[in-house]
């Protein structure tokens, strides 16, 4: 017996308008509160991205080491996605949401001991546990939204719900830009060094960045007590928004605990795991969707995490200024998602996905080869192309699955978020390395690192156009 209210409606009691509606009237309330979860995990994703650069300077570690933030954050998805899906099949969507919210709150609250002990590894554990919760929420919420109405409008329904994810992301970015990055004493140290050395104005931003980092290390060696005070202050700044969001998550947990939600998934069905796995892995759209999703998430996290490095190292911006361009990218992402959701009524999902991926390739190439602010504008423009990729890949991959089978199928797509753990780590290592010369143009290591998201968009384009051509081949030829 589940803790959801069984959906006893039949076609005889369903109106014609509900049969074609994106969200039937009987599902409005559950759709609204489940959609709020999309904003919650968006907040967690994008308040964490700027910490890669912040932790690099707070703890004086390399880019590869600081990118362990993303390794822990997105590694939590990979660890928990499949166990979460198996458990949700045994219980219910509502139970999965409650478990996810509880783990989310615990992970966020672990930033308290991490900041008190000034321990980078405890922060990583907190992010890891937090994303256990996000894995439960995403593995639950995505197929739940797909099941709240007719199958023919499932992709539109998921795109509508996913449109609220960037609202949470934008909130996380604004909090990082207005409250975290400007409040860090390491940022004040960097600004003081630039004012103390007017000659930096005549040097390349990448050279200035290296000199200030060296000075920061020297200051830590010569003034360990002052450095420790600075670290304690900055980690307290980092901790505060996580404590606040933990309180919000606990309040949402209470809301879901007392709400009656419809049962749309048939959790009491037996789990034929091997048969389902065989079915999924002989379905090329599903398997291709998992691969494409891994590359998409990797590209998204790389573009949004390292835009700060790009702005600081190549354009000479402060961390807070560079984060403002990340906010601009998110506004573009949010606007484009609503626009592309409308376009999806007229273009097939595969075709739109392929076109957007080609646009991502071109703009990423611009970020690599175009100097100065135009290169930065190309990088933030990539967000317009990424806007609809996640839900579109998700909808394509799960098309044709029953709601119950979609729970485990969803786990594979959430597992694919592991791309966000591996790829930023590789990009951080490239940034720590040397630049290169291509066609006579010298490229700094930060520019070179963006060949990784470029490759990701090529893979996504291949998948999108393959789906489109396959669907056209199956269409009957009419006179």
**For the chain, which residues make up each domain, given as ranges?**
24-261, 271-478
Task: Give residue 297's pLDDT.
Answer: 93
Cβ-based burial of 398 (10 A; exposed 0-12, middle 13-18, buried ≥19): buried
Instruction: Give every CB contact of residue 209 below 8 A, 6+ residues apart in sequence.
Output: 312, 313
Domain covering 24-261 in this structure, CATH number: 1.20.1250.20
What pLDDT score was predicted for residue 14? 47
User: In this predicted structure, what is the pLDDT of residue 427?
Assistant: 93
* Tokens 């109106």, residue located: 15
Say if 24-261 and 271-478 have the same CATH topology. yes
pTM as predicted: 0.79
What is the mean pLDDT for each group of 10 consecutive residues in the chain (479 residues)? 45 51 83 91 88 92 91 87 78 88 96 96 96 89 83 78 82 89 90 88 81 90 92 95 95 92 61 60 84 94 92 89 90 88 88 96 97 95 94 86 69 83 91 88 93 97 94 62
Q: Left, alpha or beta for 372 (phi > 0: left; psi -120 to 50: alpha)?
A: left
Helix %, strand %, coil % of the chain (to 5): 80, 0, 15
User: Would you give the distance in Å from CA 201 to the centre of its chain?
Assistant: 35
CATH assignment, 271-478: 1.20.1250.20
Q: Which residues of 329-368 are buried (b: 16+ CB within 10 A; e: fewer)?
A: bbebbbebbeebbeebeeeebbbbbbbbbbbbbebbebbb
The predicted structure's pLDDT at residue 359: 97
At 263, which helix (H) or strand (E)? Answer: strand 262-263
């Amino acid at each position: 017996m589940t803790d959801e209210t069984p959906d006893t409606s039949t076609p005889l009691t369903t109106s014609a308008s509900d049969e074609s509606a994106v969200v039937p009237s009987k599902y409005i309330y559950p759709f609204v509160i489940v959609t709020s979860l999309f904003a919650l995990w968006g907040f967690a994703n994008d308040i964490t991205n700027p910490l890669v650069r912040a932790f690099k300077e707070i703890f004086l570690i390399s880019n590869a080491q600081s990118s362990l933030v993303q390794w822990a954050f997105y590694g939590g998805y990979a660890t928990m996605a499949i166990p979460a899906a198996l458990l949700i099949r045994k219980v219910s969507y509502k139970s999965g949401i409650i478990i996810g919210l509880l783990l989310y709150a615990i992970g966020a609250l672990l930033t308290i001991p991490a900041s008190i002990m000034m321990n980078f590894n405890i922060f990583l554990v907190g992010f890891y546990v937090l994303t256990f919760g996000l894995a439960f929420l995403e593995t639950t919420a995505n197929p739940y939204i797909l099941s709240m109405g007719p199958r023919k409008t499932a992709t539109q329904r998921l795109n509508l719900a996913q449109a609220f994810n960037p609202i949470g992301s934008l909130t996380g970015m604004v909090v990082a830009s207005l409250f975290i990055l400007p409040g860090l004493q390491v940022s004040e140290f960097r600004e003081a060094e630039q004012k103390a050395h007017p000659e930096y104005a005549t040097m390349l931003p990448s050279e200035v960045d290296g000199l200030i980092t060296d000075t920061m290390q020297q200051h830590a060696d010569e003034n360990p007590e002052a450095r420790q005070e600075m670290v304690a202050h900055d980690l307290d700044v980092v901790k505060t928004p996580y404590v606040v969001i933990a309180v919000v998550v606990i309040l949402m947990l209470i809301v879901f605990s007392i709400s009656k939600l419809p049962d749309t998934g048939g959790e009491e069905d037996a789990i034929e795991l091997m048969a389902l796995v065989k079915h999924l892995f002989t379905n090329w759209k599903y398997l291709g969707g998992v691969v494409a999703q891994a590359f998409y998430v990797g590209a998204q996290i790389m573009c949004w995490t390292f835009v700060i490095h790009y702005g600081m190292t190549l354009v000479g911006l402060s961390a807070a200024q560079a984060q403002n361009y990340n906010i601009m990218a998110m506004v573009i992402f949010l606007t484009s998602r609503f626009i592309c959701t409308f376009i999806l009524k007229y273009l097939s999902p595969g075709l739109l996905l392929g076109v957007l991926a080609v646009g991502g390739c071109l703009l990423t190439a611009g970020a690599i080869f175009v100097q100065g602010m135009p290169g930065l504008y190309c990088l933030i423009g990539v967000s317009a192309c990424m806007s609809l990729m996640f839900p579109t890949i998700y909808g394509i991959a799960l098309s044709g699955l029953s709601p119950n089978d979609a729970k485990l199928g969803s786990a594979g797509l959430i597992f694919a978020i592991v791309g966000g753990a591996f790829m930023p780590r590789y990009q951080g290592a490239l940034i720590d390395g040397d630049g290169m010369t291509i066609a006579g143009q010298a490229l700094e290591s930060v520019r070179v690192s963006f060949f990784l998201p470029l490759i990701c968009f090529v893979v996504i384009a291949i998948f999108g156009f393959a789906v489109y051509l396959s669907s056209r081949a199956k269409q009957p030829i009419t006179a």
